[in-house]
């Protein structure tokens, strides 16, 4: 059972365009939603994260939008650059009490064409 | 530099052979994890450990074993019982306690191939 569904599997965007990756979850106990970026042959690295008490978080060209009622969250990359070409994973973690691990989506391979 | 070191970067295993992947961290993190990554499958949790001498099975623990004798080290053994071990293996660590939402730091991975 996949607890975090991510789409699309792959995405091609022109330089300067907006890249949008979507994730949906079922478990209402999730309360932490990070996005990780992974370049080929490397380990993932945290890009940006959000908690459900806010609907949006922005860091530079990267924005997370969070819709708690729909149980969806998305990553927007503004002014996409060739250097953004990587695989992006959304993840979810919870509940707040006790200990829990990250559940990852299956990933989106982004290619930004020059 | 603080971080997570995985070794080796590439590993080849013969059929029926056990192999051990190394993971060392100097971030003073309590929690450590092993993930398996296959194309189009995302990251799937194999084992995790919150504290020394304790570890828990993840979603796909069959055919794998771990130990946590030191805070800094969390080696993963891929046993002959793992029928499809060819994959990219990632080790990660994170701090625990307040604030709870702490970043997970990943190593550079070990690519295991069965020959």
- C-alpha separations of A76 from A22, A63, B29, B35 in Å: 9, 5, 31, 26
- From B100, B98, B56, select the one nearest B74 (Cα to Cα): B56
Mutate to test the interface with B, among A5, A9, A38, A101 (most CBs of B within 10 A): A101
> Beta strand B76-78 with A19-25: parallel, antiparallel or unpaired?
unpaired
- C-alpha separations of B71 from A43, B26, B74, B89 in Å: 21, 9, 8, 20
Question: Does B3 have pLDDT greater than 60?
Answer: yes
Residue of higher predicted confidence among A102 and A13: A13
Give me the residue from A42, A51, A104 closest to B108, CB to CB.
A42
**Buried b / exposed e along A50-75 (16+ C-beta atoms within 10 A):** bebeeeebeeeebbbbbeeeebebbb
Q: Average pLDDT of A80-107?
A: 85
Mutate to test the interface with A, among B4, B5, B43 (most CBs of A within 10 A): B43
Average pLDDT, chain B: 90
In this complex, do A101 and B33 lie within 8 Å of one another by their Cβ atoms?
yes
CA closest to A109 among chain B residues: B40
- Using alpha carbons only, how large is chain B's radius of gyration in Å? 14
- Is A104 at the interface with chain B, CB within 8 A? yes
Torsion from C-alpha of A92, A95, A98, A104, nearest 10 degrees: -20
In chain B, residues with a C-beta closer than 8 Å to the C-beta of A34 are 103-104
pLDDT value, residue A76: 98
**Angle at CA of residue A74, ends A69 and A78, nearest 5°:** 140
Question: Does A97 have pLDDT greater than 50?
Answer: no
- Is A94 at the interface with chain B, CB within 8 A? no
In chain A, residues with a C-beta closer than 8 Å to the C-beta of B57 are none
pLDDT digits (tens, 9 = 90+) for B9-58: 999 989 889 999 999 999 988 889 999 999 888 899 999 998 899 999 99
- Band the pLDDT of B98: cuts 50, 70, 90: very low
Q: Average pLDDT of B96-115?
A: 78
pLDDT digits (tens, 9 = 90+) for A43-57: 999 999 998 889 999
């Amino acid at each position: 059972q996949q607890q975090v569904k991510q789409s699309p599997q792959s995405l091609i965007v022109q330089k300067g365009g907006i890249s949008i990756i979507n994730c949906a979850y079922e478990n209402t106990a999730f309360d932490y939603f990070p996005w990780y970026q992974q370049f080929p042959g490397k380990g993932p690295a945290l890009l940006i994260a959000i908690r459900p008490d806010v609907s949006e978080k922005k860091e530079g060209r990267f924005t997370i939008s969070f819709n708690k009622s729909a149980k969806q969250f998305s990553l927007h990359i503004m002014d996409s650059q060739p250097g953004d070409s990587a695989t992006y994973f959304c993840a979810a973690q919870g509940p707040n009490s006790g200990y829990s691990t990250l559940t990852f989506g299956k990933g989106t391979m982004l290619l930004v064409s020059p | 530099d603080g971080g997570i070191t995985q070794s080796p970067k590439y590993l080849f295993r013969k059929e029926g052979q056990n192999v051990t992947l190394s993971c060392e961290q100097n971030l003073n993190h309590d929690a450590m994890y092993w993930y398996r990554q296959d194309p189009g499958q995302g990251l799937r949790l194999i084992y995790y450990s919150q504290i020394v001498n304790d570890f828990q099975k993840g979603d796909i623990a069959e055919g794998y074993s771990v130990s946590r004798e030191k805070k800094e080290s969390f080696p993963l053994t891929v046993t002959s019982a793992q029928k499809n071990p060819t994959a990219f293996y990632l080790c990660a660590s994170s701090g625990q306690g307040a604030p709870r939402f702490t970043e997970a730091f990943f190593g550079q991975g070990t690519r295991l191939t069965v020959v």
